[in-house]
Structure 1
Amino acid sequence: MNTVITRPVLLAALRQIVETLPAVQAAWEGGSAAFSYRDQWSDIDAVLVVDDEAVAAVFAAVEAGLAQLSPMDLAYEVPATQGYQQRFYRLQGCSEFLVVDLVLLKCSDPLLFREVELHGHGQTWLDRAGLLGERHLDPVLDRAQASARLPGLRASFAMFQHIPTKERLRGRAVEGLQFYQRMTLQPLVEALRLLHCPQRRGFGLRYLARDLPPEVCARIEALAFVRDLVDLEAKHSEAQQWFWQCMKALEPEGPGAAA
């Protein structure tokens, strides 16, 4: 009979491995656990702050420790990340959803993923160096950065709406749908985030149900699923109108969020 590894078993094993590594100065679980959204499909998002010279050694130690629990089924390293290194693991005997998402930060790196508005309240495993105090975004700076995004968002949207249109007119359904998703829906969602949750404006299509009002999510969902080229024409038109309503609401004298 195949061994079934549950989330509590894998989580306990990973924590035990991490706690035995002196090069790990701080560790916590983020992701869904940091927002109390964890469910049966959640993975394990682990973040470790390690001595600068120990990144490779810590990855190797974690992998060796996990292999003692069960052989590795899949492993993947994210290439060319900025300021951190990230690997994903799935062990034999684990659900396809029970993946370890492991991020390693160097102690000298100021990027800690601790801002509550973006990353929630991470569940601390250890903090040898006293690094894990609660952090918050600078509200004045964040508002200024959100406002600075508007001219580029407005200009790019206006420039590129002809592309999904011309692919539709050519009868190219796949190309038209792709450009509609990328050049119309994605900037529309960014505009809606700027209205409803500007601090989380960079999350794109992820976590919409958590961040936006239900009626807004329902409308986005309806626009995202396109039946055919006729439906694409209608939804492209509606999405464009909604985007410009958002832009008007985002002007300094605007009336507020357009749902």
Structure 2
Amino acid sequence: MSESDRSRILQAIIAETEPHPHILGLWEQGSAAFGRADDLSDLDLMLLVEDGHVEDSHAAVERALQRIAPIVQRHVLPQPTWHGHWQAFYRLQGTSPYLLVDLCVLQASTTNRFLEPEMHGRALVYFDKTGWVRQEPTDPAPVAERIRARLEADAAFLDLFAPFVRKEVLRGREVDALGFYNGLVIPRLVHCLRSRYAPWRHTFGLRYLSQDLPTDVYAEVRDLLFVGSAADLPDRTDRAMALFRRTLAELQSLDLIQLLEETR
């Protein structure tokens, strides 16, 4: 991907959508909103439209893309999406396989705006006709409550099911053991670590871990993730559980709201 391709696509979309009477705003999120965009970044675009104008609005974006190059791949997420908005991914002929256009279309009445700066960075606003695109500090109290509830559930879940990794190794079911480890143990450990070091993004899973965790903690997680053989799984599980419990104990000694305030 070249920066010129990225810029040409963006400028074409702005030129097509800004005059559209039912399109109210356009902004970019993703790595660009954190100042981390590089030659491998895609385009994470949010399009704000009047209610009832999703179809004609994303069609306008597609016209802009077709002016650059033919659309060779178009993947529309099945409705309803987990976030409630229309979303699709596009790849253009002749561009890098990394240069996806990730388009999310929001209707003006939505309350789920993806504009929390602590989670999504500082949006790059290309136009905003109504002043709708506002980023204000997020109330930490509901976030703290969600973190507490999930940590409590995760601790109980791991006490019950982390031993299943060793059980499946003893049975010779190596794939089952790996499934329990990667599917049950690691996600809960990562959530706990995120809650401690990047609590606003506690639900982000493995994404951005190298930026969100201290270097030594990230190195430990990386080592736990790359398993050499099934015989390593019981020891890795024990280490993961020990790290989970240490981190959980530390979190329980902290004021989560204060932690969230400190990590905005």
CA–CA distance in 1 between the matches of 2:85 and 2:115?
A: 14
Of 243-252 and 214-223, more deviation after overlay is shown by: 243-252
User: Superposed, which structure 2 residues align to 1:1-259 within 5 Å?
Assistant: 6-79=5-78, 80-81=80-81, 82-252=83-253
- Does the C-alpha gap of structure 1 residues 64 and 16 become closer, same or farther in structure 2, counting only changes over 3 Å? same
CA–CA distance in 1 between the matches of 2:90 and 2:175?
A: 33
Q: Helix, strand or coil for the counterpart of 1:53? A: coil
1:186 and 1:204 in contact (8 A); partners too: yes
2:73 and 2:91 in contact (8 A); partners too: yes
* Matched residue type, 1:37: R
Q: Helix, strand or coil for the counterpart of 1:33? A: helix
**How far does the alpha carbon of each residue in 1:62-111 deviate from its partner, in whole angstroms, 9 at most, with x for none?**
11221122111100011221321100000101100001000000001111
CA–CA distance in 1 between the matches of 2:115 and 2:219?
A: 31
CA–CA distance in 1 between the matches of 2:60 and 2:254?
A: 56
CA–CA distance in 1 between the matches of 2:44 and 2:251?
A: 34
* Matched residue type, 1:214: T
**How far does the alpha carbon of each residue in 1:92-145 deviate from its partner, in whole angstroms, 9 at most, with x for none?**
011000010000000011111111100100100111011112222102332233
2:48 and 2:108 in contact (8 A); partners too: yes
CA–CA distance in 2 between the matches of 1:172 and 1:78?
A: 35
CA–CA distance in 1 between the matches of 2:112 and 2:223?
A: 37
Of 94-103 and 203-212, more deviation after overlay is shown by: 203-212
2:24 and 2:50 in contact (8 A); partners too: yes
**How far does the alpha carbon of each residue in 1:24-62 deviate from its partner, in whole angstroms, 9 at most, with x for none?**
111101101100010111000000110111101111121
Query: What is the aligned-residue RMSD (CA, Å)?
Result: 1.8
Aligned pair count reads 252
Q: Helix, strand or coil for the counterpart of 2:202? A: helix
TM-score (norm. length: structure 1): 0.92
CA–CA distance in 2 between the matches of 1:149 and 1:42?
A: 32
CA–CA distance in 1 between the matches of 2:6 and 2:69?
A: 13
CA–CA distance in 2 between the matches of 1:12 and 1:115?
A: 25
1:171 and 1:229 in contact (8 A); partners too: no
* 5+ long unaligned stretches in structure 2: 260-264
Post-superposition offset of 1:20? 2.6
Q: Helix, strand or coil for the counterpart of 2:103? A: strand
Give the match for residue 262 of structure 2: none
Identity of aligned residues (%): 37
Q: Helix, strand or coil for the counterpart of 2:24? A: strand
Q: Helix, strand or coil for the counterpart of 2:125? A: strand
